[in-house]
Amino acid sequence: MSDVRHHFFTAFQTTPALAVASPGRINLIGEHIDYNHGFVLPAAIDKLVQVAIGKRNDGAIHMFAIDLKETIIVQIKDVEPHPIQWVNYVIGVVHQVIDQLASQPNKANNIQNEILNGFNISIQGNIPIGAGLSSSAAVECAVLFALNELYDLQLTKMEMATMAQKAEHDFAGVKCGIMDMFASLFGQKNKVILLDCASLAYQYYPFDLTEYSIVLFDTQIKHALASSEYNTRRIECEQGIQVIQKKYPQVQTWREVSFEQVENCLGSSTRTPVNIYHRCKYVVAEIDRVQAAVVDLTSGNMVAFGKKMYATHEGLSQLYEVSCPELDFLVAAVKDNENVIGARMMGGGFGGCTINIIKKTAVDHIINEVANKYSKQINQPLAVYLTSIEEGTHLIK
């Protein structure tokens, strides 16, 4: 990427106060589990969003999207959801900051007054859009981190993660869990994060890629169902646990639900719609699978870890029903190859990427083989990204 500060100067004829980089994320295992209070295993990657920022004094926010060559101006006192979606990732976190300051009268009033004076911001990135790598969370975290530095808000990373999540809910309209924002902010080089999405406790685990590479196969397809079905799955899981809680009132979250309880309350002998039964069956299995996968990492058993990725994909495709023919094709294309120890769809589903752990010696051959098969069968070119695990959101020196 070119220097985001240079583009800022070109757009606004002034030098930015600072610049921030915020990464996209991969999730090794634990898909659609963050909003179900389970465990996830994400990591920050080498694909980034960068922002440069500087203060104004006229109450306006001037936003320049470098890659789109688009400038949008809004008044900071009147921020509300915008018809242009990328704008919502910026002003959504601004709204969160203003709300946070208003709820904390002990904070100096001059901070709020400064923010209300507005700012200039330029934004660019190389995270593929629609690939399931959380480009939206990267924008939100970059902007929030920049505002935190610019105005010395003294927000913790955890506060920023929850604020960015709420911005996604309120302004982007996606009722996502906290994983994407958390991974973007908390990422560490060559480490994955076991995040407990109920307590937000977390622990880092080294991810040994001495022999392997992480390769993403991008379908370059995004079916129209993606956003609406994401919210539907969340509702279905909520409906399922409510049924279980009627019989087992001690149950608070999916973490406390057993397979036996799912069968008793939601199985074929009940009147529960089969789709709700399937969603809930997947959630309980995946929560167990993530915890077992961490044991594999601790013992250095990458092959066992990879098998669990394949099992996750099968659950996402057959039970949770968020896959699509293109994603299923890509996983099937590598499943019997001894050089691919694990593969699955990643992200919200209905398109985007599969994540593959491939022996380094076989990467080029497998990429060529899968790309040719995909082109012939799906009649669509395959995009491929080799990625590495890198640091989370940080100032650009």
- Report if residue 144 sits inside a domain: yes
Going across the sheet that includes 394-395, the strands are 70-75, 60-65, 118-125, 42-55, 18-27, 394-395
The answer for 278, left when phi > 0, alpha when psi is -120 to 50, beta otherwise, is alpha
Residue 350 C-beta-side C-alpha neighbours within 13 Å: 12
- Report if residue 162 sits inside a domain: yes
Quickly state the pLDDT bin for 317 (edges 50, 70, 90). Answer: very high
Same domain (yes/no): 305, 344 = yes
Q: What does the pLDDT read at residue 119? A: 98
Q: What does the pLDDT read at residue 231? A: 85
The answer for 122, left when phi > 0, alpha when psi is -120 to 50, beta otherwise, is beta
Tell whether the model's pLDDT for residue 13 goes beyond 80. yes
Structure token pair of residue 22: 């915020």
Higher pLDDT, 177 or 288: 288
From first CA to last CA, the distance across the chain in angstroms is 15
CATH assignment at residue 167: 3.30.230.10
Dump pLDDT digits (tens) for 227-244.
Answer: 688 889 999 999 999 999
Tell whether the model's pLDDT for residue 176 goes beyond 90. no
Q: Which residue, 207, 242, 265, sits at the end of a domain? A: 207
Tell whether the model's pLDDT for residue 106 goes beyond 70. no
Q: Which residue, 152, 180, 207, sits at the end of a domain? A: 207
Same domain (yes/no): 333, 373 = yes
Same domain (yes/no): 181, 276 = no
Burial 247-269 (b: 16+ CB within 10 A, else e): eeeebeebbebeeebbeebbbee
Among the residue ranges 80-84, 112-116, 223-227, 378-382, the one predicted with the least confidence is 223-227
Q: Is the dihedral of CA 159, 189, 283, 261 positive or negative?
A: negative
Region 246-251: mean pLDDT is: 96
Quickly state the pLDDT bin for 177 (edges 50, 70, 90). Answer: confident
Same domain (yes/no): 160, 66 = yes
Quickly state the pLDDT bin for 224 (edges 50, 70, 90). Answer: low
Same domain (yes/no): 95, 241 = no
What's the mean per-residue pLDDT of the chain? 94
Q: Specify the pTM.
A: 0.91
- Report if residue 376 sits inside a domain: yes
Which of 50, 32, 55, 51 lies closest to 42 in space, CA to CA?
A: 32
Report percent pLDDT > 90 for the chain.
Answer: 87
Identify the active-site residue in 78, 180, 196, 296. 180
Q: Do residues 80 and 56 touch, judged by C-beta distance below 8 A?
A: no
Same domain (yes/no): 78, 113 = yes
CATH assignment at residue 321: 3.30.70.890
For residue 366, give the H/E element and its range: helix 363-378
Same domain (yes/no): 223, 77 = no
Q: What does the pLDDT read at residue 86? A: 95
Q: How far apart are CA 93 and CA 102, in angstroms?
A: 14
State how many domains the chain has.
2
Tell whether the model's pLDDT for residue 250 goes beyond 80. yes
Tell whether the model's pLDDT for residue 97 goes beyond 90. yes
Q: Which residue, 185, 207, 229, sits at the end of a domain? A: 207
Map tokens 């390769």 to a residue: 215
Tell whether the model's pLDDT for residue 110 goes beyond 80. no
- Report if residue 311 sits inside a domain: yes
Domain that holds residue 44: 4-207
Region 366-372: mean pLDDT is: 98
Same domain (yes/no): 111, 254 = no
Quickly state the pLDDT bin for 341 (edges 50, 70, 90). Answer: very high
Q: What does the pLDDT read at residue 107? A: 63
Same domain (yes/no): 336, 193 = no
Dump pLDDT digits (tens) for 114-168.
Answer: 899 999 999 999 998 878 889 999 999 999 999 999 999 999 999 999 999 999 9
Which of 224, 45, 195 lies closest to 135 in space, CA to CA?
A: 45
Tell whether the model's pLDDT for residue 225 goes beyond 80. no
Residue 336 annotated in active site: no
Q: How far apart are CA 350 and CA 282, in angstroms?
A: 17
Q: What does the pLDDT read at residue 387? A: 96
DSSP notation for 80-106: ---SSHHHHHHHHHHHHHHHHHHT-TT
Same domain (yes/no): 258, 358 = yes
- Report if residue 26 sits inside a domain: yes
- Report if residue 368 sits inside a domain: yes
Q: Do residues 278 and 319 touch, judged by C-beta distance below 8 A?
A: yes
- Report if residue 233 sits inside a domain: yes
Same domain (yes/no): 219, 201 = no
Higher pLDDT, 109 or 352: 352
- Report if residue 8 sits inside a domain: yes
Same domain (yes/no): 74, 126 = yes
Quickly state the pLDDT bin for 226 (edges 50, 70, 90). Answer: low
